[in-house]
């Protein structure tokens, strides 16, 4: 009986030791991903891997251990931002009215565009080579917008005649003329004007 207890305790201890490094590695990876996203958003030109490591406060070897190539890091940042947009639509609707959800989603879209601008050369090469499924991403983003628009039509706080493609085009135009973070104030004003046009026009009494 004692031997079985001892072996069981060793087994549990071994499992905990295995899980802890894995959990630590996942947290470290998430932290590096967060820092890389922030650096990409604020960069005027595509930053070096060494600059990203320095901003994260780690050695370049640590960064390469989690992301062996620049392409793997760009892919991870890109996919993480897309997930935030696609899953974020439903999460926002769980806590906010549709119109407020759409306005907040526009901010998330702006963050995604800003991050893309900081890794544009690598991302373009990956799209050209087929490593990034650009068409699939576009479909997923349009579906996220449609989810919010459908909820807005049901609630009556968004117009019923707006297409997701129109929203996407308006957002791309906005963040092209007023890129974040340098012109965030102007982008916010333009987004608020866009939202004014997306709300139903009150019928005359």
State the alpha helices, DSSP H only, in the chain.
Answer: 2-42, 49-56, 60-66, 70-95, 98-117, 120-129, 134-155, 164-177, 184-198
Predicted pLDDT at 100: 96
Burial class (CB in 10 A: 0-12, 13-18, 19+), 3: exposed
Instruction: Spell out, as residue ranges, where the chain has pLDDT lower than 50.
Output: 1-4, 12, 16-17
Predicted pLDDT at 4: 47
Do the Cβ atoms of 185 and 174 come closer than 8 Å? no
Predicted pLDDT at 3: 47
Phi and psi at 40, nearest 5°, equal -60, -40
Fold of 1-68: Arc Repressor Mutant, subunit A (1.10.10)
Predicted pLDDT at 135: 85
Predicted pLDDT at 16: 46
Which residues 6+ apart lie within 8 Å of 81 measured at CB? 37, 111, 112, 115, 116
- The domain limits of the chain are 1-68, 70-205
Reported pTM: 0.79
**For residue 189, what are the CA distances in angstroms to 106, 143, 184?**
12, 25, 9
Do the Cβ atoms of 62 and 53 come closer than 8 Å? yes
Distance of CA 158 to the CA centre of its chain: 24
- pLDDT tens-place string over residues 97-150: 999 999 999 999 998 998 888 898 898 898 888 888 888 889 999 999 999 999
Predicted pLDDT at 153: 94
DSSP category for residue 59? -
- Distance, in Å, from the CA atom of 41 to the CA atom of 135, rounded to the nearest integer, reads 23
Q: CATH assignment of 70-205, given 2.30.110.10, 3.40.50.9100, 3.40.50.1580, 1.10.357.10? A: 1.10.357.10
């Amino acid at each position: 009986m004692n031997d079985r207890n001892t072996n069981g305790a060793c087994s549990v201890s071994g499992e905990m030791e295995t899980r802890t490094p894995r959990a630590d590695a996942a947290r470290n990876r998430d932290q590096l991903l967060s820092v890389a996203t922030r650096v990409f958003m604020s960069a005027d030109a595509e930053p070096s891997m060494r600059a990203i490591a320095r901003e994260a406060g780690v050695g370049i070897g640590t960064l390469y251990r989690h992301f062996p190539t620049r392409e793997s890091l760009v892919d991870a940042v890109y996919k993480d931002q897309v997930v935030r947009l696609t899953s974020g639509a439903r999460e926002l609707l769980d806590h906010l009215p549709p119109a407020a959800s759409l306005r907040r989603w526009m901010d998330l879209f702006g963050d995604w565009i800003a991050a893309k601008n900081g890794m544009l050369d690598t991302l373009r090469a990956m799209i050209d080579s087929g490593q990034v499924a650009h068409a699939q991403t576009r479909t997923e983003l349009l579906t996220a917008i449609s989810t919010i628009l459908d909820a807005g039509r049901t609630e009556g706080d968004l117009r019923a005649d707006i297409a997701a493609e129109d929203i996407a085009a308006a957002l791309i135009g906005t963040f092209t003329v007023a890129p974040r973070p340098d012109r965030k104030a102007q982008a916010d004003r333009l987004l608020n004007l866009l939202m004014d046009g997306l709300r139903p026009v009150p019928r005359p009494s």
